[in-house]
Protein backbone atom coordinates (compact mmCIF):
# COMPACT_ATOMS: atom_id res chain seq x y z
CA UNK A 1 0.00 0.00 0.00
CA UNK A 2 2.58 2.56 1.07
CA UNK A 3 5.00 1.42 -1.63
CA UNK A 4 2.41 2.58 -4.18
CA UNK A 5 2.43 6.03 -2.60
CA UNK A 6 6.22 6.10 -2.93
CA UNK A 7 6.00 5.31 -6.66
CA UNK A 8 3.54 8.20 -6.95
CA UNK A 9 6.06 10.41 -5.13
CA UNK A 10 8.78 9.38 -7.61
CA UNK A 11 6.57 10.37 -10.56
CA UNK A 12 5.66 13.68 -8.93
CA UNK A 13 9.33 14.50 -8.19
CA UNK A 14 10.24 13.92 -11.85
CA UNK A 15 7.31 16.14 -12.94
CA UNK A 16 8.47 18.87 -10.56
CA UNK A 17 11.96 18.83 -12.09
CA UNK A 18 10.38 19.01 -15.59
CA UNK A 19 8.44 22.13 -14.55
CA UNK A 20 11.59 23.75 -13.14
CA UNK A 21 13.40 22.97 -16.42
CA UNK A 22 10.61 24.74 -18.37
CA UNK A 23 11.17 27.80 -16.15
CA UNK A 24 14.89 27.79 -17.02
CA UNK A 25 14.45 27.34 -20.78
CA UNK A 26 11.64 29.75 -21.72
CA UNK A 27 12.02 33.38 -22.83
CA UNK A 28 8.48 34.49 -21.94
CA UNK A 29 8.24 35.66 -18.33
CA UNK A 30 4.50 34.87 -18.08
CA UNK A 31 5.21 31.25 -19.05
CA UNK A 32 7.92 31.16 -16.37
CA UNK A 33 5.40 32.35 -13.77
CA UNK A 34 2.86 29.67 -14.83
CA UNK A 35 5.49 26.92 -14.67
CA UNK A 36 6.63 28.05 -11.21
CA UNK A 37 2.97 27.75 -10.12
CA UNK A 38 3.12 24.13 -11.33
CA UNK A 39 6.26 23.55 -9.26
CA UNK A 40 4.55 24.90 -6.12
CA UNK A 41 1.48 22.72 -6.77
CA UNK A 42 3.52 19.52 -7.08
CA UNK A 43 5.57 20.51 -4.01
CA UNK A 44 2.32 20.62 -1.99
CA UNK A 45 1.58 17.02 -3.09
CA UNK A 46 5.07 15.98 -1.96
CA UNK A 47 4.50 17.58 1.47
CA UNK A 48 1.21 15.67 1.69
CA UNK A 49 2.92 12.37 0.94
CA UNK A 50 5.56 13.20 3.58
CA UNK A 51 2.77 13.33 6.22
CA UNK A 52 2.92 17.08 6.86
CA UNK A 53 -0.67 18.31 6.27
CA UNK A 54 -0.30 21.78 7.83
CA UNK A 55 2.73 22.59 5.68
CA UNK A 56 0.82 21.34 2.65
CA UNK A 57 -2.10 23.68 3.43
CA UNK A 58 0.25 26.66 3.76
CA UNK A 59 2.18 25.79 0.60
CA UNK A 60 -1.05 25.32 -1.38
CA UNK A 61 -2.67 28.59 -0.36
CA UNK A 62 0.45 30.77 -0.42
CA UNK A 63 2.55 29.17 -3.12
CA UNK A 64 -0.14 28.46 -5.69
CA UNK A 65 -2.34 31.51 -5.03
CA UNK A 66 -0.54 34.49 -3.56
CA UNK A 67 2.93 34.18 -5.10
CA UNK A 68 1.56 33.77 -8.63
CA UNK A 69 -0.66 36.84 -8.22
CA UNK A 70 2.32 38.95 -7.01
CA UNK A 71 4.48 37.81 -9.96
CA UNK A 72 1.69 38.57 -12.45
CA UNK A 73 1.38 42.11 -11.05
CA UNK A 74 5.15 42.59 -11.43
CA UNK A 75 5.10 41.30 -15.04
CA UNK A 76 2.24 43.72 -15.72
CA UNK A 77 4.18 46.68 -14.33
CA UNK A 78 7.44 45.83 -16.17
CA UNK A 79 8.10 44.00 -19.44
CA UNK A 80 6.77 40.60 -20.50
CA UNK A 81 9.48 39.29 -22.83
CA UNK A 82 13.08 38.70 -21.86
CA UNK A 83 15.33 40.36 -24.46
CA UNK A 84 18.83 39.19 -25.24
What is the footprint of other proteins within residues 7-46 (CB under 8 A)? Answer: 8-13, 15-24, 28-41, 43-46
- Burial label for 20, CB within 10 Å (0-12, 13-18, 19+), is middle
Q: What is the footprint of other proteins within residues 41-80 (CB under 8 A)?
A: 41, 43-79
Number of residues interacting with other proteins: please give it, by CB under 8 A.
75
CB of 45 to other proteins, least distance (A): 7
CB of 44 to other proteins, least distance (A): 8
Q: Residue 28 to residues 21, 44, 66, 79: CA-CA distances in angstroms? A: 14, 25, 20, 10
| Residues across the chain | 84
Amino acid sequence: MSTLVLYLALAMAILMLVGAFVVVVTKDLLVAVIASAVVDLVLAILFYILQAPDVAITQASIGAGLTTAIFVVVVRKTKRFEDD
